[in-house]
């Protein structure tokens, strides 16, 4: 699962607008908190659970002004451990927070997530100003740890390796009222040699389908119009109980929920992307034709060394079936450049597959060794070689992405307006959202036309393709479309 699939606002913690009384002694509750999230969509959703647990215990979310003014009583970092620089980012940030704590002695700092699961005692020793360290499997312990830290005056570390409850059973403070994350499974049963996730998240555990559907209905009842189903390998849902059709059944069941306009999911594993899943996507009207489909490498030799249970021909065959069933599908991917032992010939195979696959976008990474993974002990590719390959691959994908986005010009797209505003939207008087296949669109509201609100659907004519998004500045006088649906 990839953190770069989200905008900054989509990754951010929930923040309330400053309201009357917030910030005074009466309305601070047990304390004003802020959650700083690093990592993928699963971490973002975990942060919603962290926020829910804290609010259930009497804490109050910080407003944006309070975050800027550092008027905070509790900061929680939800960490990521996927890449090598994750630890550097974590320690660098909490090092800055140490200065804040010297200025505000009552400030509490907590560290959770994958890095906490991995380096539990090391964090407390290296950063003694941290009050609480908790893991991915015991988010619900955080309020107790904070209370104990106040009494004991030292870091409280509680990281469990056994899953006793699904995080979905915890209270949730959702970051968006119109778009919700819903976890259908946690953990991973694969053994990819580059990945630390099975260590930090544990073995795969699936939720009961009835519980998932009940949560989705509750989200819709609370105003959500879109849900994204989450899992480390979301399409292997049900394999643990021997039902290989469970995920496609779940997608079709989502299609029967009144008021649910859009369903997305991430991230699937190519080896488990079966024909029934393709059919369910194509035949269920509210399942969007957007797919993140991790390739990792186009070289069969490297895929074997990665312990990826597919080969490039199989990957392209599945891709062909998806595009045959859904010609409009926007398909993104992950690619690792410079995996240990990668030769020039291996890299050229990746370039070949990328040219043939024509992904809408690719999240490309220079390989970084993660301690504790088999690949970390393999012979590494020199950095200058990796860098040169990385730049070539990025240039190729940028060209393909530009050509793909240009194909939208002149077409009408339906965009769900979100709370996410582009950096220039205030100046250009545009609103922002994603069209049905997931592309980010900035829409200019024509003079005299209604201004849409968050959660509305706008059909508009695309007038320009930018580098990574679309611009729709329609002129109805020229026959271009602008229509708002509530």
Of the candidate ranges 192-201, 223-232, 430-439, the one whose mean pLDDT is the lowest: 192-201
Tell me the C-alpha distance between 291 and 277, whole Å: 12
The stretch 448-458 carries a mean pLDDT of 95
Residue 428's pLDDT band (cuts 50, 70, 90): low
pLDDT of residue 291: 96
Q: Is residue 9 pLDDT above 60, yes or no? A: no
379 contact partners, CB below 8 Å, separation of at least 6: 340, 341
pLDDT for 189 beyond 80: yes
pLDDT at res. 439: 97
Residue 89's pLDDT is what?
80
pLDDT band for position 7 (cuts 50, 70, 90): very low
User: What's the residue count for the chain?
Assistant: 486
- pLDDT-derived band at 423, boundaries 50, 70, 90: low
If you average pLDDT over residues 273-286, what whole number do you get? Answer: 97
- Structure-block tokens of residue 136: 């991915």
Do 213 and 248 touch, CB atoms closer than 8 A? no
- Residue 23's pLDDT is 42
Query: What is the per-residue pLDDT for 44?
Result: 86
Q: What pLDDT shows up at residue 459?
A: 98
Burial of 263-279, coded b for 16+ CB within 10 Å and e otherwise, reads bbbbbbbbbbbbebbbe
Report the 10 Å Cβ neighbour count for 191.
12
Calculate what percentage of the chain has a pLDDT beyond 90: 70
pLDDT at position 426 is: 59
Average pLDDT of span 397-405: 98
Q: Where are the domains of the chain?
A: 28-158, 174-407, 411-485
CA distance 88 to 90: 5
What are the tens digits of pLDDT across the range 18-48? 333 444 444 899 999 999 988 787 888 889 9
Asked which of 236-240, 335-339, 399-403 is least confident by mean pLDDT, the reply is 236-240
Which pLDDT score is estimated for 14?
A: 43
Rounded to the nearest 5°, which phi and psi values hold at 126?
-80, -25
Extract the annotated binding site. Answer: 40, 80, 114, 188, 192, 195
pLDDT at 241: 84
In Å, what is the CA distance from 281 to each residue of 39, 166, 201, 248, 275? Answer: 27, 27, 28, 8, 10
pLDDT exceeds 70 at position 2: no
pLDDT one-digit tens code per residue, 404-421: 999 999 999 999 999 645
CATH architecture of the domain with residue range 28-158: 3-Layer(aba) Sandwich (3.40)
**351 or 21: which leads in pLDDT:** 351
Q: Tell whether the model's pLDDT for residue 6 goes beyond 60.
A: no
pLDDT score for 304: 98
Cα 278 to Cα 322: distance, rounded to the nearest angstrom:
6
Asked if pLDDT for residue 339 goes beyond 60, the answer is yes
For range 216-243, the mean pLDDT: 93
Mean pLDDT of 93-102: 91
Asked if residue 396 has pLDDT above 50, the reply is: yes
What per-residue confidence (pLDDT) applies to 421? Answer: 55
Query: Model-level pTM?
Result: 0.85
Task: Identify which of 30-44, 64-78, 424-438 has the greatest average pLDDT.
Answer: 64-78
Q: Are 319 and 326 in contact (CB under 8 A)?
A: no
Backbone phi, psi, residue 450, to 5° = -65, 140
Under CATH, what is the fold of the domain 411-485? OB fold (Dihydrolipoamide Acetyltransferase, E2P) (2.40.50)
Beta partners for residue 181, in sequence order:
228
Distance of CA 70 to the CA centre of its chain: 26
Q: Which of 9, 208, 42 is nearest to 117 (CA)?
A: 42
Is pLDDT at 13 greater than 70 in this prediction?
no
CA distances from 258 to 182, 219, 261, 417, 424 (A): 17, 12, 8, 20, 35
On average, the pLDDT of the chain sits at 89
**pLDDT attached to residue 24:** 46
Q: What average pLDDT does range 232-246 have in this prediction?
A: 91
Strand 482-485: give its sheet, edge to edge.
464-465, 470-472, 440-444, 430-435, 412-417, 457-461, 482-485
Q: Which residues pair with 206 in a beta bridge?
A: 185
Would you state the pLDDT for residue 425?
57
β 290-292/330-337 pair status: parallel
Q: In terms of CATH, what superfamily is 174-407?
A: tm_1862 like domain (3.80.30.20)
> In Å, what is the CA distance from 301 to each residue of 42, 293, 340, 347, 381?
30, 19, 11, 11, 15
Residue 453's region, left for phi above 0, alpha for psi from -120 to 50, else beta, is beta
Q: Are 82 and 39 in contact (CB under 8 A)?
A: yes
Question: Annotated binding site for [4Fe-4S] cluster, which residues?
Answer: 40, 80, 114, 188, 192, 195
Most confident of 76-85, 163-172, 265-274, 283-292: 283-292
Inform me whether the pLDDT recorded for 5 exceeds 60. no
The residues near 221 (Cβ < 8 Å, ≥ 6 apart) are: none
pLDDT at 294 over 50: yes
The pLDDT > 70 percentage for the chain reads: 91
């Amino acid at each position: 699962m990839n953190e770069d699939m989200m905008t900054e606002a989509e990754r951010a913690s929930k923040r309330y607008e400053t309201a009357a009384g917030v910030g005074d002694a009466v309305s601070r509750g047990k304390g004003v908190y802020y959650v700083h999230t690093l990592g993928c969509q699963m971490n973002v959703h975990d942060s919603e659970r962290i926020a829910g647990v804290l609010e259930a215990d009497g804490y109050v979310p910080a407003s944006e002004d309070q975050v800027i003014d550092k008027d905070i009583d509790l900061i929680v970092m939800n960490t990521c451990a996927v890449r090598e620089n994750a630890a550097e980012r974590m320690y660098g940030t909490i090092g800055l927070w140490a200065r804040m704590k010297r200025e505000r002695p009552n400030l509490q700092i907590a560290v959770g997530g994958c890095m906490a699961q991995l380096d539990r005692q090391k964090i407390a020793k290296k950063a003694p100003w941290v009050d609480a360290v908790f893991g991915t499997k015991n988010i619900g312990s955080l309020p107790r740890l904070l209370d104990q830290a106040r009494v004991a005056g030292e870091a409280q570390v509680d990281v469990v390796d056994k899953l006793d409850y699904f995080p979905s059973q915890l209270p949730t403070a959702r970051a968006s009222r119109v778009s919700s994350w819903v976890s259908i499974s946690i953990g991973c049963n694969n053994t990819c040699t580059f990945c630390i996730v099975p260590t930090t998240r544990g073995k795969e555990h699936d939720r009961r389908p009835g519980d998932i559907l009940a949560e989705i209905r509750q989200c819709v009842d609370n105003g959500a119009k879109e849900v994204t189903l989450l899992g480390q390998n979301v399409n292997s849902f049900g394999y643990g109980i021997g039902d290989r059709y469970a995920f496609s059944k779940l997608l079709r069941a989502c299609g029967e929920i009144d008021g649910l306009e859009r369903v997305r999911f991430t991230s699937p594993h190519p080896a488990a992307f079966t024909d029934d899943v393709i059919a369910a996507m194509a035949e269920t009207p509210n399942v969007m034709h957007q797919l993140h489909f991790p390739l990792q490498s186009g070289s069969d030799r490297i895929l074997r060394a990665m312990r990826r249970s597919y080969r490039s021909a199989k990957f392209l065959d599945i891709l062909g079936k998806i595009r045959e069933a859904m010609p409009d599908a926007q398909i993104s991917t992950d690619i690792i450049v410079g995996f240990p032992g990668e030769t020039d010939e291996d890299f050229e195979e990746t370039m070949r597959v990328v040219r043939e696959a024509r992904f809408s976008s690719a999240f490309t990474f220079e390989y970084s060794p993660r301690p504790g993974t088999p690949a970390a002990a393999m012979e590494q590719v020199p950095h200058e070689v990796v860098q040169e390959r990385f730049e070539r691959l990025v240039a190729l994908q940028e060209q393909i992405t530009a050509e793909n986005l240009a194909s939208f010009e002149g077409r009408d797209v339906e965009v769900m307006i979100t709370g996410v505003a582009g950096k220039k939207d205030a100046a250009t008087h545009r609103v922002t959202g994603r069209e049905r296949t997931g592309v980010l669109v900035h829409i200019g509201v024509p003079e005299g036309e209604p201004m849409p609100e968050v959660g509305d659907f706008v059909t508009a004519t695309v007038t320009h393709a930018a580098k990574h998004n679309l611009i729709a500045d329609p002129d109805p006088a020229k026959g271009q479309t602008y229509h708002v649906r509530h």
